[in-house]
């Protein structure tokens, strides 16, 4: 009679054991993701950005870091190096592409000015990250730049019809630690988490002209202001977005070189938007009561999701403005995020004493 309770206890322990192990097993089967990060002159925002990145609720063993930094006039390279030295080993793999010199592009008016060389260099880097992700066998790539390209129209999205889009650097901070899981859960080929900003900026367009320029639409503000919630198909997303490399047509996506028929503005986010539109996907069509697979140019769909708060982007500065203007904008952003209960956190390893030009961590 004494054996029975012991056996029951053993069984209970075994059950408990497998229950405890279950999440571990499941974690190792989670999709592998490459985080593609391009940083330039990001000293003011890097600690906030890395603090948020570290806290993403996703096993680091399923994440690869692909980091590039170049043309810096501040300590971005040193700061990234310090952080990678401290936490890099936790991640599945790390690719680190720093370029110390030169510190600026030829013909640029200042560090906030986008020249053709800068666009091209950025496209090539992004393509390199994409190629790495494919070769590594990743399921997804998250494009998540810090103080690197974001696109917006100079009159403000929706404010007026502007002749050409202007591009600017944005800092994106993913304050929601569920961002990766929530985006994956949508099962979409290309999906951006809508980022909040203090003004009318965000990281998506609702309309695009046949020439590849920003088009004003009635949907933009209701989406930006979350009167309209969900995931919406849009022609363009930028700054932070997730690409499923297993999705139909994803093998045709590229940042560089542009599609052979490309005539739109020479810019990485538009080149990518075009590649999505131009991708040829096979779809099941029903014709004359017999199903057949047809090749159609439906493209790879691009979505923005806004049903959750995912994070913030700052108001980009104009091309003639400097890093100090950018830093001031960023401090406002951090304070506003704090006011709304989405305070930022420092990285676990570094920058106890913040860099001389960094934005302070808000004290609640
Ligand atoms: C994610 O963030 C929420 C809200 O800030 C927090 O309560 C939770 O503990 C975090 N989860 C993880 C796994 O870090
Ligand atoms: C880089 O960091 C060092 C040490 O913190 C500091 O003395 C220096 O002023 C920084 N340089 C720039 C350009 O901010
Ligand atoms: C480029 O456009 C031409 C004419 O519309 C078309 O026939 C051709 O297939 C396109 N090329 C590619 C690679 O899509």
pLDDT in tens, 232-278: 999 999 889 999 999 989 999 999 999 999 998 888 888 999 999 99
Which band of pLDDT confidence, cut at 50, 70 and 90, is reported for residue 60?
A: very high
Q: DSSP secondary-structure letter at 192?
A: E
pLDDT at 33 over 50: yes
In whole angstroms, give the CA distance from residue 117 to residue 300.
28
The residue whose CB lies within 8 Å of the most ligand 3 atoms, and thus the one to mutate among 261, 278, 281, 297, is 261
Do 200 and 158 form a contact (C-beta atoms < 8 A)? yes
pLDDT at 228 over 90: yes
Write the CATH number for 118.
3.90.550.10
Which band of pLDDT confidence, cut at 50, 70 and 90, is reported for residue 148?
A: low
In a domain, 175, yes or no: yes
Residue among 86, 148, 104, 160 nearest 123 (CA) = 148
Residue among 106, 27, 40 nearest 79 (CA) = 40
In whole angstroms, give the CA distance from residue 127 to residue 255.
5
Ligand 2 centroid–CA 75 distance in Å is: 6
Condensed to tens digits (0 to 9), the pLDDT of residues 283-319 reads 544 444 444 555 555 789 999 999 999 999 877 666 6
In a domain, 10, yes or no: no
**Mean pLDDT of the region 148-175:** 52
For the CA of 263, the nearest ligand: 3
In a domain, 237, yes or no: yes
Domain that holds residue 333: 30-339
In whole angstroms, give the CA distance from residue 217 to residue 215.
6
Name the closest-CA residue to atom 4, ligand 2.
355
User: Is the minimum distance from the CB of 106 to ligand 3 under 6 angstroms?
Assistant: no
In a domain, 293, yes or no: yes
Atom of ligand 1 nearest to the CA of 178: 1
Cβ-based neighbour number of residue 269 at 10 Å: 26
Ligand 3 centroid–CA 260 distance in Å is: 8
Residue among 284, 280, 282, 260 nearest 271 (CA) = 260
The domain total for the chain is: 1
Atom of ligand 1 nearest to the CA of 55: 14
pLDDT at 152 over 50: no
Name the closest-CA residue to atom 5, ligand 2.
355
**Mean pLDDT of the region 130-144:** 97
Which one is predicted more confidently, 348 or 165?
Answer: 348
pLDDT at 157 over 80: no
Helix (H, G, I), strand (E, B) or coil at 89: helix
User: Is the minimum distance from the CB of 284 to ligand 3 under 6 angstroms?
Assistant: no
- Identify each DSSP E strand in 84-217 by its residue range: 93-98, 140-144, 146-153, 165-173, 190-193, 204-205
- Identify each DSSP E strand in the chain by its residue range: 33-39, 63-69, 93-98, 140-144, 146-153, 165-173, 190-193, 204-205, 231-233, 236-237, 240-244, 281-287, 290-296, 302-305, 312-313
Atom of ligand 3 nearest to the CA of 278: 14
Phi and psi torsions of 256, nearest 5°: -160, 140
Of 146-150, 199-203, 228-232, 258-262, which one has max mean pLDDT?
Answer: 228-232
Name the closest-CA residue to atom 13, ligand 1.
57
Share above pLDDT 70 across residues of the chain, in percent, rounded to a whole number: 74
Ligand 3 centroid–CA 256 distance in Å is: 18
In a domain, 189, yes or no: yes
Q: In Å, how far are 34, 62, 181, 230, 339 from 193, measured between CA atoms?
A: 17, 20, 11, 11, 21
In a domain, 239, yes or no: yes
Which band of pLDDT confidence, cut at 50, 70 and 90, is reported for residue 221?
A: very high
pTM: 0.84
**Peptide bond between residue 257 and the one before it cis (omega within 30 degrees of 0):** yes
- For ligand 1, residues with CB inside 6 Å are 55, 57, 177
In a domain, 19, yes or no: no
In a domain, 359, yes or no: no
Tell me, rounded to whole angstroms, the distance of Cα 320 from its chain centroid.
Answer: 26
């Amino acid at each position: 009679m004494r054996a029975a309770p012991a056996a029951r206890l053993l069984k209970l322990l075994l059950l408990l054991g497998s229950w405890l192990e279950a999440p571990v097993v499941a974690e190792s089967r989670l999709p592998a993701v490459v985080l593609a990060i391009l940083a330039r002159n990001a000293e003011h925002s890097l600690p906030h950005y890395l603090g948020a990145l570290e806290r993403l609720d996703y096993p680091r063993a399923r994440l690869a870091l692909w980091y590039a930094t170049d043309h810096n006039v501040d300590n971005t390279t040193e700061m990234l190096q310090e952080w990678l030295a401290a936490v890099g080993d936790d991640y599945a793999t790390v690719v680190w592409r720093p370029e110390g010199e030169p510190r600026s592009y030829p013909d640029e008016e200042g560090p906030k000015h986008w020249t053709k060389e800068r666009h091209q260099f950025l496209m090539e880097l992004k393509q390199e990250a994409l190629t790495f992700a494919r070769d590594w066998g990743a399921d997804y790539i998250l494009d998540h730049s810090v103080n690197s390209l974001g696109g917006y129209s100079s009159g403000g999205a929706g404010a007026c019809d502007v002749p050409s889009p202007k591009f600017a650097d944005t800092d994106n901070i993913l304050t929601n630690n569920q961002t990766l899981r929530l985006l994956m859960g949508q099962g979409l080929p290309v999906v951006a988490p809508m980022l909040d900003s203090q003004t009318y900026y965000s990281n998506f367009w609702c309309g695009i002209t046949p020439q590849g320029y920003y088009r004003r639409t009635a949907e933009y503000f209701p989406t930006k202001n979350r009167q309209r919630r969900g995931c919406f198909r849009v022609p363009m997303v930028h700054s932070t977005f997730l690409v499923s490399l297993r999705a139909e047509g994803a093998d045709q996506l590229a940042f560089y070189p542009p599609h052979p028929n490309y005539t739109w503005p020479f810019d990485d986010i538009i080149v990518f938007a075009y590649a999505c539109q131009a991708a040829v996907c096979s779809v099941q069509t029903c014709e004359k009561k017999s199903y057949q697979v047809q090749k159609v140019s439906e493209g790879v769909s691009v979505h923005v999701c806004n049903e959750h708060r995912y994070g913030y982007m700052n108001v980009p500065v104009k091309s003639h403005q400097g890093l100090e203007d950018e830093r001031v904008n960023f401090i406002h952003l951090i304070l506003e995020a704090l006011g709304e209960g989405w305070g930022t956190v420092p990285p676990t390893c570094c920058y106890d004493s913040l860099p001389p030009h960094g934005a302070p961590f808000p004290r609640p």
